[in-house]
């Protein structure tokens, strides 16, 4: 019996993994070969998807990208024994892209069957939760504080400090809310965890619940991820069956259960207070802070709101200790970040590395340069609210503080490359347009400013009073930055102003006479 792996990940299936799995099953049965097809998560090397792996005595051998019509020749070559073929990539773990990574949060993604809990346990799962169940609430929280883990959703707030606030709150009940509204363009790490290793997220949420005294968790999942929703539903059923979730978590007598709630296509619901409103069944309008959600969050109760990657990084911290995790990274950016390499790159995918890697390493060593073969001209890091950076900034280390000093924002770790055909005035206009479409409308700078921003950029691009309109655009960006209620209006100017600063020629301004 040969075991083969064909990903069930939505991205892999978007280029034919399902058809490949079916073709392999058909070919094997026609040839009388006995094979077992495991539908794993993706290894995150998307240019190689559909990536098929074959288990051999020498380890797993990778083939890709495989099309259904390649399957016959693969069998003829004897790929079910790991034999050579033009699509053979050798041992999966030896592929440089993967080998050079530091996969802590993503240790099992692409390796295991995401719905097989015993396999999860065999690969190090549940150890963090078991350790936590033997500790006091305070000790769990302080362990997370010491790990230096900061919110991976974008705001980078120290996770342990947030947990400490919720632990100290007296009101009951308390809630754990997982922000799975991964709306930032260029990001897909949350999706990959939910589809590729959902138990690690549940384990992280259960640890959070035990740490702060919450018995109920919600995963707020964006509606654009129907595959993740299906996988989560199956995984929750399996987790309840095995008492990872329920009234008696791993026989500890402690209760923790969770529920998935589907969003409805509003980007703003990735903002934590808008998310809470939405979970309560309301319009996703941003709440002013204070009160902090840690004290008055979901239904007015103390609530931990953490991103998927933050929560999925907790089990390894409890398993291996805060120091193990904190030893990765640099400065105040400790641990690893699953960067997502996207857009116009040859080798897009998931690259989990310690903080401190540079954009240039990501774009060229991993990404292999642009997909189009043209020079990479601009890179947007941190989603639609992140700055556009020119090549002169590519050597800045990706560390929260260092990157901010260079005018960037790491955010959720998405990196989108653009080649030299990009029109940066058009991208600036899109940033304003996106804000106009997605603004919750609660505060005026965001609601009106973004619409006005589109108009002003249209004037500039049409050459109408460019100098006056450029000054007006900067003024408008100032108002939005300092006057908006949340990061949506407050950071929309980042891509706009960075485009103006670094690519003035696209706005009809000669670089020499840069408007400042």
Residues at the contact surface with another protein, assessed by CB under 8 A:
10-11, 13-15, 46-47, 49, 182-188, 190-191, 223-227, 261-267, 278-284, 299, 340-345, 348-350, 371, 380, 384, 414, 416-419, 422, 427, 430, 434, 437-438
Tell me which residue has tokens 């900034």: 393
Which two three-digit tokens encode residue 300? 């007015």
Closer by beta carbon to another protein, 43 or else 393: 43
Min separation Cβ 471 and another protein, Å? 26
Q: What is the DSSP letter of 292?
A: P
Min separation Cβ 342 and another protein, Å? 3
Min separation Cβ 7 and another protein, Å? 12
List, in sequence order, every residue forming a beta bridge with 60; answer none if it has no partner.
55
* Cβ count near 503 (within 10 Å): 21
Rounded Cα distance, 293 and 165, in Å: 10
Min separation Cβ 151 and another protein, Å? 19
- What b/e string do you get for 420-459 counting C-beta neighbours within 10 Å, with b at 16 or more? eebebbebbbbbbebbbebbbebbebbbbbbbbbbebbeb
Closer by beta carbon to another protein, 235 or else 415: 415
Which two three-digit tokens encode residue 258? 């969770």
Q: Is 299 left (phi over 0), alpha (psi -120 to 50) or beta?
A: left
Cβ partners under 8 Å of residue 484, min gap 6: 443, 445, 446, 449, 490
Closer by beta carbon to another protein, 29 or else 426: 426
Closer by beta carbon to another protein, 140 or else 425: 425
Min separation Cβ 223 and another protein, Å? 5
List, in sequence order, every residue forming a beta bridge with 257; answer none if it has no partner.
216
Closer by beta carbon to another protein, 190 or else 197: 190
My answer on whether omega of the bond before 290 falls inside 30° of 0, hence cis, is yes
Min separation Cβ 419 and another protein, Å? 7
Closer by beta carbon to another protein, 427 or else 509: 427
φ and ψ at residue 333, rounded to 5 degrees: -105, 90
Strand 376-381 with 414-419, pairing: antiparallel
Rounded Cα distance, 429 and 435, in Å: 10
Rounded Cα distance, 269 and 193, in Å: 20
Rounded Cα distance, 140 and 126, in Å: 15
Closer by beta carbon to another protein, 11 or else 144: 11
Which two three-digit tokens encode residue 158? 């120290």
Closer by beta carbon to another protein, 148 or else 343: 343
Cβ partners under 8 Å of residue 173, min gap 6: 214, 215, 216, 301
Min separation Cβ 197 and another protein, Å? 16
> ∠ CA(249), CA(255), CA(261), 5° rounding?
100
Min separation Cβ 340 and another protein, Å? 7
Closer by beta carbon to another protein, 9 or else 203: 9
Closer by beta carbon to another protein, 175 or else 325: 175
Min separation Cβ 368 and another protein, Å? 12
Closer by beta carbon to another protein, 168 or else 265: 265
Min separation Cβ 412 and another protein, Å? 11
Min separation Cβ 292 and another protein, Å? 20
* Cβ count near 305 (within 10 Å): 26
Residue (of 408, 15, 349) closest to 187 by Cα position: 349
φ and ψ at residue 284, rounded to 5 degrees: -80, 65
Which two three-digit tokens encode residue 97? 């892209």
Closer by beta carbon to another protein, 104 or else 194: 194
Min separation Cβ 506 and another protein, Å? 14
Cβ partners under 8 Å of residue 235, min gap 6: 114, 115, 198, 199, 202
């Amino acid at each position: 019996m040969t075991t083969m792996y064909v990903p069930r990940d939505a991205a892999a299936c978007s280029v034919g993994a399902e058809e490949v799995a079916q073709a392999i099953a058909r070919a094997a049965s026609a040839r009388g070969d006995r094979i077992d097809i495991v539908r794993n998560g993706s290894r995150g090397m998307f240019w190689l998807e559909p990536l098929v792996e074959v288990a051999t005595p020498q380890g797993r051998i990778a083939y890709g990208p495989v099309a259904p019509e390649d399957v016959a020749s693969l069998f003829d070559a004897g790929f079910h024994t790991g034999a050579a073929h033009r699509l053979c990539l050798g041992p999966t773990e030896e592929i440089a892209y993967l080998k050079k990574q530091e996969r802590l949060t993503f240790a099992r993604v692409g390796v295991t069957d995401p719905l097989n809990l015993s396999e999860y346990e065999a690969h190090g799962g549940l150890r963090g939760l078991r350790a936590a169940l033997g500790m006091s609430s305070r000790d769990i929280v302080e362990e997370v504080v010491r790990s230096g883990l900061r919110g991976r959703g974008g705001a980078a707030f120290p996770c342990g400090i947030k947990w400490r606030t919720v632990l100290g709150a007296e009101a009951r009940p308390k809630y754990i809310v997982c922000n799975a509204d991964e709306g930032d363009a260029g990001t897909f790490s949350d999706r990959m965890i939910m589809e590729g290793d959902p138990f690690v997220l549940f384990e992280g949420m259960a640890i959070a619940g035990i740490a702060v005294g919450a018995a109920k968790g919600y995963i707020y999942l964006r509606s654009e991820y129907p595959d993740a929703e299906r996988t989560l539903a199956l995984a929750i059923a399996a987790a309840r069956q095995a008492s990872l979730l329920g009234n008696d978590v791993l026989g500890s007598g402690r209760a923790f259960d969770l529920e998935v709630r589907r969003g409805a296509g509003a980007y703003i619901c990735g903002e934590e207070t808008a998310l809470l409103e939405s979970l309560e069944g309301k319009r996703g309008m941003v709440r002013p802070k204070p009160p902090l959600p840690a004290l008055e969050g979901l239904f007015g109760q103390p609530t931990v709101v953490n991103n998927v990657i933050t929560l999925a990084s907790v089990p390894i911290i409890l398993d291996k200790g805060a120091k193990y995790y904190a030893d990765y990274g640099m400065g105040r950016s400790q641990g690893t970040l699953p960067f997502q390499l996207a857009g116009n790159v040859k080798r897009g995918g998931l690259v989990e590395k310690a903080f401190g890697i540079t954009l240039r390493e990501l774009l060229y060593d991993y990404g292999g340069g642009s997909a189009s073969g043209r020079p990479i001209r601009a890179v947007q890091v941190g989603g639609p609210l992140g700055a556009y950076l020119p090549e002169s900034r590519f050597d800045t280390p990706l560390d929260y503080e260092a990157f901010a000093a260079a005018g960037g924002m790491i955010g959720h770790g998405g990196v989108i490359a653009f080649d030299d055909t990009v029109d940066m005035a058009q991208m600036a206009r899109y940033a304003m347009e996106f804000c106009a479409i997605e603004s919750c409308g609660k505060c005026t700078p965001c609601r009106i400013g973004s619409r006005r921003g589109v108009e002003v950029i249209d004037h500039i691009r049409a050459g109408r009073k460019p100098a006056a309109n450029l000054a007006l655009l900067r003024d408008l960006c100032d108002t939005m930055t300092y006057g908006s209620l949340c990061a949506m209006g407050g950071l929309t100017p980042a891509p706009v102003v960075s485009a103006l600063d670094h690519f003035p020629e696209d706005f009809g301004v000669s670089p020499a006479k840069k408007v400042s």
